[in-house]
């Protein structure tokens, strides 16, 4: 596996800094299993966030917000922790920024609902498969 020396993303959005802060908070509150705010500095406009992906991949990031104008904000995401997860850490960081974008545009709830709808079908399929398998075992035993 390749050793990555960190992650860096720098994007500018057409939203106020307070809107971006609210979007980061919304993503964290709706994605508690994948995003945990570990620290926040309102004076410096920074967040310390742990992004969680997969079974054992935790990507600690620093998110710094810079006011460009009243309606423009620069988002700087960095992670200085070396990781041997290849592109997985980059994918986790990009997914987080995608969720912030969805929260800013008001589509986060729709995206969450679409991603969860597939899980229900899989769960029902597995439940059905398990129950029919158990019935087959029950039939063989008796």
* C-alpha–C-alpha distance, residues 20 and 47, integer Å: 12
CB 114 within 8 A of CB 102: no
CATH of 7-106, one of 3.40.50.2000, 3.30.530.20, 3.20.20.140, 3.40.50.300: 3.30.530.20
The dihedrals phi and psi of 117, each to the nearest 5 degrees, come to: -65, -35
Listed in order, strand segments (DSSP E) in 1-92 are 7-13, 35-41, 46-53, 57-69, 72-79
* C-alpha–C-alpha distance, residues 101 and 38, integer Å: 21
Per-residue pLDDT tens digits of the chain, which is 142 residues long? 455 568 899 999 999 999 999 999 999 999 888 899 999 999 999 999 999 887 677 889 999 999 999 999 999 999 887 555 667 888 889 999 999 999 999 998 875 655 554 444 444 444 454 444 444 443 444 4
* C-alpha–C-alpha distance, residues 26 and 113, integer Å: 15
């Amino acid at each position: 596996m390749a050793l990555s020396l960190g992650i860096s993303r720098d994007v500018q959005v057409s939203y106020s800094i307070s809107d971006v802060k609210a979007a980061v908070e919304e993503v964290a509150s709706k994605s508690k299993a994948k995003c945990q705010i570990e620290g926040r500095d309102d004076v410096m406009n920074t967040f310390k966030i742990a992004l969680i992906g997969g079974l054992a991949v935790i990507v600690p990031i620093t998110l710094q917000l810079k006011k460009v104008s009243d309606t423009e904000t620069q988002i700087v995401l960095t992670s200085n922790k070396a990781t041997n997860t290849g592109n997985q850490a980059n994918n986790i960081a990009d997914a987080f920024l995608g969720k912030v974008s969805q929260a800013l545009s008001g589509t986060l709830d729709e995206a969450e609902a679409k991603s969860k709808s597939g899980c229900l079908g899989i769960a029902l399929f597995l439940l059905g498969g398990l129950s029919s398998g158990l019935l087959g075992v029950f039939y063989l035993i008796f």
